[in-house]
Structure 1
C-alpha cells in the first residue's frame, strides 16, 4: 500500500510538475515537484503503520511548499540580477541558492569597502531576502592565492562582513546572516592563470532553504 501511495503521488506530480526551462528551452521536472515527491516519500516512511497516508500527504505538502518557495525566490533573483555580473546557482540536492559576486565589481582592489555603484545590486538582493524571510544566509569571502595567507584570510573576512553588514542595514535581520572568510582555501578556478585568479576573488551569498514554510 505504501508503494502504491508513493507511486500515485509521483505520477500526479510528474504530470503536473513539468516545466520549460527558460534558459535552455528543454522540458524538465520542476524543483517544486521533486521537493513534493521527496516529502511524500519521507512522510510515508516516517508515518508509521496506520498513518502512512497522512504522513505522505503532510510530507508532500511540506516538500512542495519549500520547493515552490525556493523556486519563486530563484526566479525573482535571476530577473533582478540579470546583467549585473552576479551569477545565480542552485544546488540540485539541497535547493540552496548561491549568488556569486566577482570581486572586481564588488570591491576596489585590496579593499573591503563596497563600491558605491554596487549598492543598487545589493539593494535588489536585500529586497528579495526580506520578502523570502524564512531562509538563513551565509556570506562567504574568497581570494586568490597571491599574497600572505593571513592577509588573504583577513581580507576575505572583512569583505564578507561588509556585505553582511550592508544587507542588515537594508532591513535583512542580522540573526539570519553569518559572515565567514575562507581566504584562498576554496578556489573555483585555476590560480595559475589571471583569468582563474579573477574568478577566485569573489564573495558568495548562500541562501539556505527553510525546513518548512
Structure 2
C-alpha cells in the first residue's frame, strides 16, 4: 500500500504525533496502516457525494480548499488548510509553504486570464487539464490528500468542458508515474486524462 512516493519530511513533522510519522487525526488513531484504511473509507463516502453533487465554485484557491475540507474534515484537523512545513515525495521537492499561497493564486489567475474554461477543442481541453493538474501537483498545497483534492477539482474543470472523467479508469501506479513525469513535462497527465474520459453510451 505504501510506496517510494509517500510523503517524506527530514524532521519530526508538526502534523504528526511526537516521535511518530502518524498524522494527528480526529479519530486518534496511532497506527499508520489503520489510519490509512480509515482515511480511505471516510473519503470514499465523501467522493461518492461529490460524484452526485460536485462542489460548486469559481476555480479559485478557495474552491480547492473547500474540496479538501469536505473530503478530509472527518479525519484531519488541517482539512482545508494550506500546509505549513516543507515536504517531498521520492526525489520530488514540492513548493515551500511560504510560496504556496502566491503560486496557487498564479495558477487560478491563469485559468481565468487565459480563458482556459472557454476552450472548445478536445485536444486543447485535455492539455489545459494536464497543465493545471501539473501545476497544482508540484505546489502540493496540503500536508495530505493532495491527489484526491486536485483530481476532484480537475474533474469539475472537465465538467465545464462537458467532459466526464472517471479516475477509476486508471490506477494508482499510472497516476504516480504521470505525477513524477509531470515535474519536467506539464503534458504528462494527457494520456491518463484521455484514458479516464467517459464516452456517451
What TM-score results when the alignment is normalised by the length of structure 1? Answer: 0.26
Give the strand-richer structure, 1 or 2: 1
Q: Which has the larger radius of gyration?
A: 1
